[in-house]
Every structure is written in C-alpha cells, then in structure tokens.
Amino acid sequence: MICLMTATAGCALLHDGGRSDTDALRPRLGIWCEFMPYRQVVNWLPMLSRYDCRLLIHVESEDIGDEDFVRLCRAACSNGVRVTAWFLLPYDKSLYVGEETAGEFERLALAFADWNTQAHLGVREVVFDCEPNPQLGARLAECLRRHSLFGMARVLRGQMDRRNFANSVHRLNNLIFELHAKGLRVNGAANRVFLDFMRYGNVAVQDSLNAPFSMIDWDGVSFITYRYKTSAARYVAMIKRYGRLERRYFDSESGLDVGLVGDHRHIPEHVERAKRFGLGAYYLGYLEGMHDPDDLRQAVSAALGVGVSRINIYSLEGAVGSKAGLEGWLQAAAGARPLRGPAVWTPFNSFKMGLTALTLEGLFRGLVGAERGYHDLSSCKEAGG
C-alpha cells in the first residue's frame, strides 16, 4: 500500500464568513461499507438519512439477485438514502478494477445494471475502485521487506504493457458508455499517488500498477487520502495538497476519500487482507484509525477550504464499532466548514510533500521509465475508443 504522509503545523477551525464561494461550501457526505452484511446495514439507514449521507456499498458477482440487497435498496429509498454500488471481485480474481480485470468487471457491471432495472433497485450510481491487485501488492511488499528498490523496479517494469493497457482503457470507456445507456453514472476511485505523478506528466505509473484511471471518462472521481499513522495536524496538509491537485487535473466532479474512522485492526476481513497483500502486522499497524471525531471535522474542513465538498468516509464498519459511534463521526463531518486563514498555512509541510512526490517520480522515471505515448490514450475517452 503506497502511503505518502508528511507533516503540517497545528491548525484551528474557523467559521465561514461569507467572503468567497468556498466559504459557502457544505460537505456532501458518503460512507463506504465494505464488509457489513446487507441485513445489518439496513439498521443504520435512518442515521445516514439524518445527515444526508450516501451509502457506497460493496457488490460482488455472487450478490446479484441477493434478496437482502433488494431489501436494503428499498429501505434506503424509503429513508431517502442514495445508494452507490461499489464493485469488487473475489481476492482470487484480483479484487479491484484494472488492466487484467476489465472483462470481469464488464460482466459484473452489466449484470448488475440489468438486475437494477428488473428489480427496481433504484441505484443510479456505481463506483469502480482502481488499485493494484493483491497479487501485485504481495510482490511489491516482498521487495519492501527486503529493502530492494531495484527489485521493486523490476516488478513494476514487468507489469508495463502499453498495448494491453490501451485495450483496457478502450474497454472501460466502452463499458461506461453502455452503463450510461442503462441510466447509471460511473465514478472512479484511485490512490492519491496518481496525482503526484500526474503533477510531472507521468501516467505510465498507472500501467505499472495495472490501474488505468486518468484516461477514463468518469462522471466523478475520488482519491483515497487516508490518514493512517500521520498526526491530525499533518493530515490537513495532505488533504489540501490532493484536493488541489484533483481539481487541477479532473474536469469531472471531484471528491476525497477520508478516514480511517475507528480502529480497523480487529476487523477480521482486514486481517485476511493483510495476509493476502503479504504485509502482515505492518499492514495492520496502519489501520488503527482516528479516535476523535474532531480530527475528521478538521480534515473535512481542510477539503472544503480548497473547494472539495464531496467527502467519502471510510468506513461504516469502523464508525459503528468505534467509541464515538456512527452519529459522532457523521455529526463531526457534517458540521465542518471551510478551513481558512494563517492557522492553516502549511508551507514547510507542503514543501516536504512536494519534495517527496518529486523524489518518488524521479526514482520511478529513472528505474522504471515514463515512456511517451500514454497521454495519447486521452482520445480513448470518446465512446468506442
């Protein structure tokens, strides 16, 4: 798991004073739900409704036709909660959307779209999670354990295949065209590291991680910007950086995925994922998450301060199982207002993040490569490639 966490000074929450357009922003909340059974999720819909919070809910192939999902969707409609279907594959089929899984996701997405129509589920939006698959993650983790920079570079170089990558871009854009025809908006979620590389005109990293993203015709995008082990104060600089970069490079509606809320180290599925990715206790160490809802309020306020209002919280499981409870987190996020003024200036930490990004991109360019031609794939955004 790629994690770029650098510092920022302490900051304070300022109330909006009506001085600019961003001062008037209010958070538009969503919450990811990855592991909780559908029948249990229903119990939390009234609270999500109270805070006008969307539900981004996991859907796998085996869930097509699931009566619990039907009941969830109908209950969500009754409560006025918007449902976004978050497509995932089983671990042995690579889990995430990527170069090698475009066909699997095509079948899953189209089957869901047909079911959505036939069963009157009322889902109007889906999301594709574009990240390195567990198999590649495990190979990179082994290199990390051996402190082998050159080994990691060899693995990444071995994944680069411009023809296959271009084919997956065409396939995903054609799929989006088909899903639009079936009445579905299609959003993409990706790791924030892509933005760091785009800052230097390098999209080849997406091929090396088998995760096409910036050349896909998304209706909306969000970037995974979790706090992990960094401090609450440092998290503000991170949110500011990636919110600004996202708005710079994407015309589609932009958002940030924030968290983790609550302690995820004891969620059984995360323990399994740690084994799959080959990182074990090291991976779990990053999953302690936030304990104080005010830290979330501060992060959301920083996002609003740079003009990003669509905020997706990870995750429902963590929030429900935390001391603060789901309402504590939703109340904190909903109460955020744009963070402004000298209290949130982060010149030192912003410089450090920029330097880290420049160093990583330089290492990638030197050891893996950044061949020309990937930007030509922007033409694939037109239907039919």
In this predicted model, what pLDDT tens digit does every residue of 156-167 receive, in sequence order? 999 999 999 999
Average pLDDT of the segment spanning 325-337: 97
Report the alpha-carbon distance of residue 256 to residue 313 in Å, rounded: 9
Q: CA–CA separation, 343 vs 220, rounded Å?
A: 31
Does residue 384 belong to any structural domain of this protein?
A: no
A 10 A CB-CB count for 146 gives: 10
In contact, 296 and 313? CB cutoff 8 Å: yes
DSSP 341: S
Q: What are phi and psi of 87, to 5 degrees?
A: -80, 130
Average pLDDT over residues 171-200: 95
Residue appearing with tokens 């994690």? 3
Residue type, 98: G
C-alpha 163/C-alpha 222 separation (Å) is 26
Residue 379: inside a domain, yes or no?
Answer: no
> Does the residue 336 lie in any domain?
yes
> Can you say how many angstroms the Cα of residue 87 is from the centroid of all Cα atoms in its chain?
13
Which pLDDT value is given to residue 106? Answer: 95
The total of other beta-carbon atoms located within 10 Å of residue 319's CB is 29
Whole-Å CA distances, 364 to 3, 203, 378: 15, 11, 22
Give the model's pLDDT for residue 246: 95
Q: Number of folded domains in the chain? A: 1
Closest CA to 112 of 124, 130, 94: 124
Element (H, E) at 319: helix 316-320
pLDDT of 116 > 70? The answer is: yes
Question: What digits encode the pLDDT tens for the residues 39-82?
Answer: 999 999 999 999 999 999 999 999 999 999 999 999 999 999 99
Torsion angle of C-alpha atoms 303, 364, 93, 85, degrees rounded to 10: 20
Q: Is residue 385 part of a domain?
A: no
* Higher pLDDT pick, 278 / 107: 107
Report the mean per-residue pLDDT for the chain.
87
Q: Is residue 375 part of a domain?
A: no
Q: How far apart are CA 76 and CA 33, in angstroms?
A: 14
* Whether the predicted pLDDT of 382 surpasses 50: no
pLDDT at 9: 28
pLDDT of residue 381: 46
- 373 pLDDT above the threshold of 60: no
- State whether residue 127 is helix, strand or coil: strand
Query: How far apart are alpha carbons 30 and 83 in whole angstroms?
Result: 9
* pLDDT tops 70 at residue 17: no
Select the more confidently predicted residue: 25 or 87: 87
Domain hosting 60: range is: 22-368
Tell me the pLDDT band of 307, cut-offs 50, 70 and 90. very high
Structure confidence at residue 87 (pLDDT): 96
In a domain, 268, yes or no: yes
Instruction: State residue 385's pLDDT score.
Output: 38
Residue 253 has pLDDT above 50, yes or no: yes
12: its two tokens: 């304070």
Mean pLDDT of 315-337: 96
Q: Is residue 270 part of a domain?
A: yes
CB environment 106-118: b (16+ within 10 A), e (fewer): bebbeebbebbee
Decide if pLDDT at 13 tops 80: no
Sign of CA dihedral 33, 35, 38, 40: negative
- For residue 33, being part of any structural domain is answered with yes
pLDDT reported for residue 350: 86
Of 126, 127, 136, residue with least CA distance to 91? 136
CA 111/CA 109 separation, integer angstroms? 5
Mean pLDDT computed over 213-241: 92
Which CATH number goes with the domain that contains 358?
3.20.20.80
